[in-house]
Amino acid sequence: MWLLGLAGAALFTFLLVRQGAPQVGAAFASAGWAIAGVVIYHLVVPVLLDALAWWALFPKPERLSLWQLFWMRWIGESVSTLVPSAAVGGDVVRARLAALRGAPVPTAAASVLVDITLGVFVQIGFTLLGLSLIVSVTGHQGFIRPTLMGAVIGVLAIIGFYVVQRLGMFRFVGKMISRLANADDWHSLVHSGQSLDEAIRRQYARRRGVTGCCAWTAASLVLGSGEIWIALHSLSLHATVVNAVILQSMVLTIRSAVFPVPGALGVQEGGYVVIGNLLGIPGDAAFALSLIARVRELILGIPGLICWQMIEARRLWRARLATNAR
C-alpha cells in the first residue's frame, strides 16, 4: 500500500512538472470561490443521493433515519478518500456506525455489501455511457477495446460476487475458520455468518429496495458530474453537460480500476489530463480540475475524519467509565 502511494506521489509530481507548476497554480487560482460551490454541491447532491441509495436497502422496521445515514455516508467517504485503506475502509466504518446507532449488525453489514455490489453494477453502465459519449464527441476509438474488456471483466466479477453472496459465503467462511481453529470460541462465526447470509438474501429479495438503490446510485453518478461542470465553468473551459459526464465517468472508472492506490494519487490527475486533452482541454487546466477535486476531498474529508474519531473516542471513554464503575 505504501509503495503504491509513493508511486502515485511520484506520478503526481511528474505530471505537475510536465504540465508546468506555475500554469497549473494559475489555473487553479482562477477558480476562486467556485471551489466552495463544488464542495457544497458534492455534499448536497452526490452524498445525499448515495445516502438515499443506502437507505432504500434497509427494511422499514430496521431502517435508520435518512439524516443518520447521510452523515455516516459522509464519514465513510472521508475515510475512503483520505485513509490509505484501498478505498474499502469507509464501507467498514459506515457499517460499524450503523450498528452503533441501533441497526442490527447483520442488517448493517448486509446493507453495505449489497450497496457495494449494486453500486459497482450501476457504475459499469455509467462507464459505458461515458465511453459512448467520448467516441461520439471525439471520434477517438482507442478506449473502446480496453474499456469494454474491463466492463466485461467487471460484470463477470460482480455476478460471481452476487452468486457467492446468495449461496451463503459467510457461513462457509465461518465453518472453514472454526474447523481450522478447532476452538469453541470460533464456532460462533458459523452462526454469525449464517445470520449475515440470511440478511443479504432478504435484502436482495426486496425488489423495491434493490430498484431504489440502483436508481438513486445512477442519479448520484449522473448528477455528480454537476460539480465538474461547475469547475469547468469557473476555469472558462468547455463547460458542457456532455463533457462533464465524460470526465466524471472516465475518472471514476480509472479510480475504481486502481483502487489499491491510496486516493488514486497521481492516477486521477493522469486521467484528467488524458481525457481532458481528448476534449480539447489544456493539460494545465485539466490538472487544475483534479486539484479542485482534491481540495473538495480535503475540505469535506478532514472534518469527517475528526467526527469519526470523536464518535469512537466518546464510545471508548464511556466503556472505560462503565468498567471503572464495576
pLDDT tens-digit readout, 50-77: 999 999 999 888 889 999 999 999 999 9
What is the pLDDT at residue 134? 85
Dihedral sign for Cα 74, 75, 76, 82, please.
positive
Question: Which band of pLDDT confidence, cut at 50, 70 and 90, is reported for residue 186?
Answer: very low
19 in Cβ contact with 283 (< 8 Å) = yes
pLDDT tens-digit readout, 222-246: 999 999 999 999 998 877 899 999 9
Q: Model's pTM, two decimal places?
A: 0.86
What is the pLDDT at residue 295? 92
305 in Cβ contact with 78 (< 8 Å) = yes
Which letter, b or e, does each residue of 168-183 get, where b requires 16 or more Cβ atoms within 10 Å of its Cβ?
A: bbbbebbbeebeeeee
Residue 316 has pLDDT above 50, yes or no: yes
* In the chain, domain spans: 2-13+37-325
The more confident residue out of 255 and 292 is: 292
pLDDT tens-digit readout, 202-214: 888 899 999 999 9
What is the pLDDT at residue 218? 96
Question: Which band of pLDDT confidence, cut at 50, 70 and 90, is reported for residue 319?
Answer: confident
pLDDT tens-digit readout, 268-311: 888 899 888 888 899 889 999 999 999 999 999 999 999 999 99
What is the pLDDT at residue 46? 95
Q: In the chain, pLDDT over 70 holds for what percent of residues?
A: 88
4 in Cβ contact with 12 (< 8 Å) = no
Question: Which band of pLDDT confidence, cut at 50, 70 and 90, is reported for residue 42?
Answer: very high
Cα separation, 76 vs 308, whole angstroms: 9
All residues at 6 or more sequence positions from 185 whose CB lies less than 8 Å from its CB, including other chains: none
Cα separation, 48 vs 206, whole angstroms: 22
Mean per-residue pLDDT over the chain, rounded: 84
Cα separation, 59 vs 175, whole angstroms: 28
Cα separation, 310 vs 98, whole angstroms: 16
